[in-house]
Amino acid sequence: MGEATSTGAGPRRSGGRAARVAMRAAPLADNVRPVRPGMSGGLYNPLSTAQVARIHQAALQALEEIGLSQAPPSGVEVMTAAGAIQGDDGRLRFPRALVEDMLAIAARDITLHARDPQHDLKLSGTRVHFGTAGAAVHLVDLETNSYRDSTVQDLYDAARLTQNLDNLHFFQRAMVCRDIPDNYELDLNTLYASCAGTTKHVGTSFTEVANVRGCLQLAHMIAGGENAWRARPFVSNSNCFVVPPMKFATESCLVMEACIRGGMPVLLLSAGQAGATAPAPIATAIVQAVAECLAGMVYVNAMMPGHPAIFGTWPFVSDLRTGAMSGGSAEQALLTAGCAQMHRFYGLPGGAAAGISDSKVPDMQAGWEQGITNVMAGLSGLNMVYEAAGMHASLLGFCFESLVLGDDILGQVMRCVRGIDVTEDSVSIEVMRDVCLNGPGHYLGSDQTLKLMQTEYIYPTVGNRMSPKEWAENDKPDLLETAIARKNAILAKADHQIDPQIDRAIRSTFRIHLA
């Protein structure tokens, strides 16, 4: 047949492939992009309603009967004043009524601010956000095919990459700056390098309570003063306030108290390892993580009612043959999705880990591990998916190219989270009628296809969809080489994100190691 006829309400668009290429090149408004931060998941539920209730009851029982040990004196004081009971064995136990009272005043529907408001994270319902995290001690260098100690420059570069990758919505410290031996300078420079690299929300940790004051001073300088910081705190504290099983981490609790007083949101992070520091059954590993985080919610809200805190159940998995961590396993995916259901049950902003690979490099194993765990986390409606890209060797190694590849993976994941749009327009058969009865018998040139090709469909940036013939004609491009090229292109143009005048003031006040 001849040229396609008009198949929609308006006139037919001409130009064929050139028109489609031009349309794809045009920037899209945020509200019509096929995927965007904060899309709602929640359609996948590994636990039944009865199972969620059973886990909740078991967690309450654990808090009442087992309790937690090793709270600092300041924590004991604030929690017992609220109604916790300290036994002769020194353990704090939590009556059910106390837990329920603290849940009633806990912050919900919170916003994690970014320095650039367009990157603010609204944590409510089943809104999903993906980002980095971890404390890798090595950089996976694909250009030399080796592992080496991670540095402050590496952390800065990871933040700069994250700034320019659309499907990574926040940056939490992903590596330890092993070139900085002093703990205070380590904490300070970790915060500086992260903020210098990105205006997205930043998460970081502090090794000692004494270090918090100087780091808050640095945050105030970047924000433009303490009042501006407190109005929009753009850094959260990732706080391992417990040492599983069922023990408070004394120093981390003191750090948490200092961060709360300083107006910094906190991530209450419980990271037991099933079969090692958490029970081997997946369900009971969730019970322990929930119990520990409920204790954290009591702690936070007894100290400062309604302070923004993320319910950070992060149980990990052991390979029970060896005892080694297995972050890319199917069991890990189930643990994370089950924790997301518990966050939804409590109506609290929640975070957990996904996207970790046990593979040492970004290969096929890494792809399936990162894809499966991230898509299950997204479909379960997890608010904050940490460690979603870049992490290898069960969190020991971080890879820039894997971060770039992960951006493609997460775009596909978010498209799954979005789901299928079923509206009167999308299920109308009028276009079908026109194409089949009046048109060419295909939809390639229809107005509907051209309209939806950018708003309904997402396309990989690094991934390759060429035919074998095209692939051969283009010198058989290699995926990892393409990722290396994209990494280098981003870093070549990525800006420093702290105003030069403020940067000079920071460098005159603190010892900054980043050149």
65 phi and psi, to 5 degrees? -100, -35
Dig out the tokens for 401 from the structure: 């190219």
Q: What gap in Å lies between CA 135 and CA 61, rounded to an integer?
A: 33
Predicted local confidence at residue 143, as pLDDT? 86
Q: Is the pLDDT of residue 18 over 80?
A: no
Q: Of 33-37, 121-125, 355-359, where does mean pLDDT reach its minimum?
A: 33-37
Q: What pLDDT digit, counting tens, does each position of 216-255 carry? A: 999 999 999 999 999 999 999 999 999 999 999 999 999 9
Element of type H or E holding 140: strand 138-141
> Hey, how many other C-beta atoms are within 10 angstroms of the C-beta on 15?
12
Predicted local confidence at residue 468, as pLDDT? 97
Q: Of 5-19, 178-192, 325-339, where does mean pLDDT reach its minimum?
A: 5-19
Predicted local confidence at residue 19, as pLDDT? 60
Q: What gap in Å lies between CA 450 and CA 481, rounded to an integer?
A: 32
Contacts of 426 (CB under 8 A, 6+ apart): none
> Hey, how many other C-beta atoms are within 10 angstroms of the C-beta on 265?
24
SS percent in the chain: helix, strand, coil, step 5: 45, 15, 40
27 DSSP assignment = P
Dig out the tokens for 494 from the structure: 């990525």
Q: Is the pLDDT of residue 10 over 70?
A: no
E strand segments, 30-81: 39-40
Predicted local confidence at residue 445, as pLDDT? 86
Find out whether 293 and 268 touch, Cβ atoms under 8 Å: yes
Q: Of 20-29, 47-56, 88-97, 273-282, where does mean pLDDT reach its minimum?
A: 20-29
Preceding peptide of 245 cis, ω within 30°: yes
Query: What's the angle, vertex CA 162, arms to CA 160 and CA 167, rounded to 5?
Result: 155
The candidate with the shortest Cα–Cα distance to 272, out of 295, 250, 293, is: 293
Query: What's the angle, vertex CA 313, arms to CA 296 and CA 203, rounded to 5?
Result: 80
Q: Is the pLDDT of residue 464 over 90?
A: yes
The 3-state DSSP class for residue 193 equals helix
Q: What gap in Å lies between CA 242 and CA 85, rounded to an integer?
A: 18
3-state secondary structure 220-242: HHHHCCHHHHHHCCCEEEEECCE
Q: Is the pLDDT of residue 30 over 90?
A: no
Predicted local confidence at residue 7, as pLDDT? 38
Find out whether 67 and 80 touch, Cβ atoms under 8 Å: no
Q: What pLDDT digit, counting tens, does each position of 346-401 carry? A: 999 999 999 999 999 999 999 999 999 999 999 999 999 999 999 999 999 999 99
Query: What sign has the CA pseudo-torsion 506, 230, 210, 311?
Result: negative
Q: Is the pLDDT of residue 26 over 90?
A: no
Predicted local confidence at residue 280, as pLDDT? 95
Find out whether 177 and 155 touch, Cβ atoms under 8 Å: yes
Q: What gap in Å lies between CA 492 and CA 194, rounded to an integer?
A: 18
Predicted local confidence at residue 12, as pLDDT? 43
Predicted local confidence at residue 31, as pLDDT? 76
Query: What's the angle, vertex CA 459, arms to CA 195 and CA 466, rounded to 5?
Result: 125
Dig out the tokens for 361 from the structure: 């490099």
- Distances in Å between the Cα of 293 and the Cα atoms of 155, 246, 343, 451 are 29, 10, 10, 46
Q: What pLDDT digit, counting tens, does each position of 67-119 carry? A: 999 999 999 999 999 999 999 999 999 999 999 999 999 999 999 999 999 99
How is 413-433 classified by DSSP, letter by letter? HHHHHH-----TTTT--HHHH
The 3-state DSSP class for residue 381 equals coil
The candidate with the shortest Cα–Cα distance to 314, out of 353, 348, 369, 355, is: 353
Element of type H or E holding 61: helix 49-65
Q: Of 93-107, 152-166, 331-345, 443-457, where does mean pLDDT reach its minimum?
A: 443-457
Grade residue 22 by pLDDT with cuts at 50, 70 and 90.
Answer: low
Percent of the chain residues topping a pLDDT of 70: 95
Percent of the chain residues topping a pLDDT of 90: 88
Predicted local confidence at residue 5, as pLDDT? 37
- Distances in Å between the Cα of 406 and the Cα atoms of 130, 165, 211 are 10, 9, 33
The candidate with the shortest Cα–Cα distance to 161, out of 490, 411, 514, is: 490
Q: What is the mean pLDDT of residues 491-514?
A: 98
The candidate with the shortest Cα–Cα distance to 140, out of 150, 132, 130, 131, is: 150
Q: Is the pLDDT of residue 494 over 70?
A: yes
Q: Which domains does the chain have, with CATH numbers?
A: 103-419+502-509 (3.20.20.480)
Q: Of 15-19, 38-42, 323-327, where does mean pLDDT reach its minimum?
A: 15-19
- 10 Å CB burial of residue 386 (0-12, 13-18, 19+) is buried
445 phi and psi, to 5 degrees? -105, 10
Predicted local confidence at residue 24, as pLDDT? 59
Q: What is the mean pLDDT of residues 261-278?
A: 97
- Distances in Å between the Cα of 452 and the Cα atoms of 34, 199, 359 are 9, 31, 37
Predicted local confidence at residue 439, as pLDDT? 83
Dig out the tokens for 192 from the structure: 């500086």
Dig out the tokens for 482 from the structure: 């393409």
Query: What's the mean per-residue pLDDT of the chain?
Result: 94
- C-alpha dihedral over 268, 191, 193, 188, to 10 degrees? -140
Q: What is the mean pLDDT of residues 498-509?
A: 98
Predicted local confidence at residue 6, as pLDDT? 37
Predicted local confidence at residue 28, as pLDDT? 76
Predicted local confidence at residue 260, as pLDDT? 98
Q: Is the pLDDT of residue 8 over 80?
A: no
Predicted local confidence at residue 225, as pLDDT? 98
Contacts of 430 (CB under 8 A, 6+ apart): none
Predicted local confidence at residue 21, as pLDDT? 60
Q: What gap in Å lies between CA 361 and CA 140, rounded to an integer?
A: 7
